[in-house]
Amino acid sequence: MLEIAIKGSKNYWSWIIFLLLVMGAGFIVYIDQFMNGLMITGMSRDVSWGFYIANFTFLVGVAAGGVMVVIPYYLHNYEKFHRITILGEFLAVAALVMCLLFIIVDLGQPTRALNVLLYPSPKSMLFYDMLVLNGYLFLNIVIGWKVLEAERNQVEPPFWTKPLIYLSIPFAIGIHTVTAYLYCGLPGRGYWLTAILAPRFLASAFAAGPAFLIILCYLIRKFTKFDPGWEAMQTLAKIVCWAIIANLFFFLCEVFTVYYSNIPGHKAHLTYLLFGYHGYHALVPWMWTGLILMFTGAIFLVIPQFRNNKTLLPFTCAMIFFGAWIDKGLGMISGGFVPSPLHHVTEYAPTKPEIMITLAVYATGFLVLTLLYKLATQVKEEVRG
């Protein structure tokens, strides 16, 4: 089946070469980081996690979001999702590849990464995160590949894929829950120390993942002969709608609890993000942009006329996707570290090398996504052909 990926149009190859160039440029910068250490990043003693871990967290959400097509199709036999289920699964694969790369580039001693396996530490949440992320990646590769292969050969998928598919559902919830547990179990970080963190993560994941999937559907319609189906995209849009509303609601719950209880250790972080703290407000414009994007996106999706508008929908989805990225990517990690447990304020901004490496990781993910989507759409074209 892999041979499909090496036959493509001029556009296809230009896109692949563009991605390879970005990857190459980022790799050169990464060599510098590998040789000289994380000093090339904007991270510091006080803000010890930055852009890498932030994007990791966001992309775990995108990966988990894939389950929003798997559940309706496999649990509720929602036939309209038949054509896009594979797209959700392959999106999860690409997102997980990026997640694992972000973890690797964030390590101070990447060559020792396997120590996590050599000295398994069941008290550490990172241990479980490693298990569920790799498990979910493995499941999606196997399921996606086997189901697509069966479709190409016009036979039923092997019987053993069914239990794996059902297993992938709790795994999807699991990856984002455990990722939230990395943060919300830490005693000294008021912003993360909240039981609603995992639900909030899941809500924003179920918005961002399917929103991105809708955008991908538009691209597939434009660049291939395969049509994912407008009705399926409409259903996805409804899922995005309710998920983003849940996310905003959870955020409001957080705001209420923090400000009404008035506990300084919890309040300081949100104040820093929304209004600035002791004269530091680098993230304030970002946070409000993110909130406005998510809120406007939610309104556009609730109103049927706007949701059904074929021209508006991709833009609405882009708004929600970027809004969720700001909320989770920029705010969530920095917000937890500012102010520090000693109430010092050290602000964080990624450096150029850090952004370059981040872009290269994204390029790698998009390369995986392009190849897998090329396979999927081509097979589906052939079968329908």
The yes or no reply on residue 342 touching other proteins (CB under 8 A) is yes
Give the interface size with other proteins as a residue count (CB under 8 A).
Answer: 47
* Shortest distance (Å) from residue 129 CB to other proteins: 9
- Cα separation of 120 and 130, whole Å? 10
- Cα separation of 272 and 340, whole Å? 12
Exposure class string for 136-151: b at 16+ Cβ within 10 A, else e: bbebbbbbbbbbbeeb
Question: How many CA atoms are closer than 13 Å to the CA of 64, on its beta-carbon side?
Answer: 31
Given 153, 264, 304, 383, the residue binding other proteins (CB under 8 A)? 264
Residue 185, φ and ψ in degrees, nearest 5: -100, 10
Contact (Cβ atoms closer than 8 angstroms) between residue 214 and residue 240: yes
Tokens 């959870």 label which residue? 250
**Nearest CB to other proteins, comparing residues 177 and 247:** 177
**Nearest CB to other proteins, comparing residues 229 and 265:** 265
The yes or no reply on residue 108 touching other proteins (CB under 8 A) is yes
The yes or no reply on residue 54 touching other proteins (CB under 8 A) is no
The yes or no reply on residue 36 touching other proteins (CB under 8 A) is yes
Angle in degrees, 0-180, between the axes of helices 51-65 and 161-184, rounded to the nearest 10: 150
Site for other proteins in 184-223 (CB under 8 A): 186-189
The yes or no reply on residue 158 touching other proteins (CB under 8 A) is no
Of the listed pieces 11-19, 118-126, 232-240, 356-364, which binds other proteins according to CB under 8 A? 118-126
The yes or no reply on residue 101 touching other proteins (CB under 8 A) is no
The yes or no reply on residue 24 touching other proteins (CB under 8 A) is no
The yes or no reply on residue 107 touching other proteins (CB under 8 A) is yes
* Shortest distance (Å) from residue 292 CB to other proteins: 29
Of the listed pieces 219-227, 291-299, 310-318, 334-342, which binds other proteins according to CB under 8 A? 334-342
**Nearest CB to other proteins, comparing residues 258 and 317:** 258
The token pair at 381 is 């074209």
Question: How many CA atoms are closer than 13 Å to the CA of 317, on its beta-carbon side?
Answer: 27
Angstrom distances, CA of residue 113 to CA of 41, 43, 127, 131, 180 = 20, 20, 12, 14, 21
The yes or no reply on residue 340 touching other proteins (CB under 8 A) is yes
The yes or no reply on residue 134 touching other proteins (CB under 8 A) is no
CA diameter of the chain: 65
15: buried, middle or exposed (CB in 10 Å: 19+, 13-18, 0-12)? middle
Site for other proteins in 241-260 (CB under 8 A): none
Of the listed pieces 3-11, 41-49, 310-318, 355-363, which binds other proteins according to CB under 8 A? 41-49
Of the listed pieces 62-70, 84-92, 102-110, 319-327, which binds other proteins according to CB under 8 A? 102-110
Of the listed pieces 30-38, 171-179, 293-301, 368-376, which binds other proteins according to CB under 8 A? 30-38
**Nearest CB to other proteins, comparing residues 181 and 250:** 181
- Cα separation of 8 and 145, whole Å? 20
Exposure class string for 85-116: b at 16+ Cβ within 10 A, else e: bbbbbbbbbbbbbbbbbbbebbeeeeeeeeeb
End-to-end CA distance of the chain: 17
The yes or no reply on residue 118 touching other proteins (CB under 8 A) is yes
- Cα separation of 260 and 267, whole Å? 9
**Nearest CB to other proteins, comparing residues 106 and 151:** 106
Of the listed pieces 59-67, 116-124, 199-207, 303-311, which binds other proteins according to CB under 8 A? 116-124
The yes or no reply on residue 106 touching other proteins (CB under 8 A) is yes
Where on the chain is the footprint of other proteins (CB under 8 A)? 36-39, 41, 43-46, 48-49, 103, 106-110, 112-113, 115-116, 118-121, 123-127, 130, 182-183, 186-189, 264-265, 336-337, 340-344, 346
